[in-house]
Amino acid sequence: MGKPGRSVVRPAVRRAVFLDRDGTINRARVERGRPYPPRSVDEFVFLPGAIEAIDRLHGAGFMTIVVTNQPDVAIGKQRRDVVDQFHRLLLSRCKLDDIRVCFETDLSGSRCYKPRPGMLEDAAAEHGIDLASSYVVGDRWRDVGAARNAGCYAILIDCGYAEPERYVPHHRVASLAEAADHILAREDSVEED
């Protein structure tokens, strides 16, 4: 604590919004109630309002970082060069600071595979991000789990998938645009306190 009459200068905290990819930024293929990534660039379609939501978050001072599991590469259902094409498209259209990809499967035990927090922790270490002041937005329980395991605020885009909810989000929304609204309103209320 500072001496009476002197203001304490706190270092600026770098914060991020970590974004899942499929079902959050772009449309996921849903089969039997479960989401899957697009198969080709032709199938890669941005969800309504997603690009603008990312721009708003970035403009508000958040780092915007994609964190995505892509196990189809490990099991041979997708080529890595196609995933790279998706990410070049994302970088050309969205104000993103980084894209983190885990190409492992859940069975590998990899620390990067969500709900494990490895991608978030690595990005935080590289970019100097305070995870406790950061958010994760995604459409699956794995995203909520990664947020919880990293100490971030978890926002679930509730798509009604037919899979168990293994972690409870801090907040539920219907879209990335609604998530951005919530984050910005929550930040405004924190600043007023």
Establish whether 193 is a catalytic residue.
Answer: no
Name the pTM for this structure: 0.92
Go through 15-48 and write b for each residue having 16 or more CB atoms within 10 A of its CB, e for each that does not: bbbbbbbbbbbbbbeeeeeebebbeeeeebebbe
Among 45, 38, 42, which Cα is nearest to 83's? Answer: 38
Q: What's the structural domain count of the chain?
A: 1
Residue 83 included in any domain: yes
Q: What percent of the chain shows pLDDT beyond 90? A: 89
> Which one from 22, 98, 139, 143 is the annotated catalytic residue?
22
Each residue's pLDDT tens digit, 7-54: 555 556 799 999 999 999 999 999 999 999 999 999 999 999 999 999
Range of the domain at 109: 16-192
Q: What is the CATH number of the domain that holds 181?
A: 3.40.50.1000
Establish whether 22 is a catalytic residue.
Answer: yes
Q: Enter the tokens of residue 26.
A: 């772009």
Distance CA(83)–CA(191), nearest Å, equals 39
Position 13 scores a pLDDT of 76
What mean pLDDT do residues 82-92 have? 98
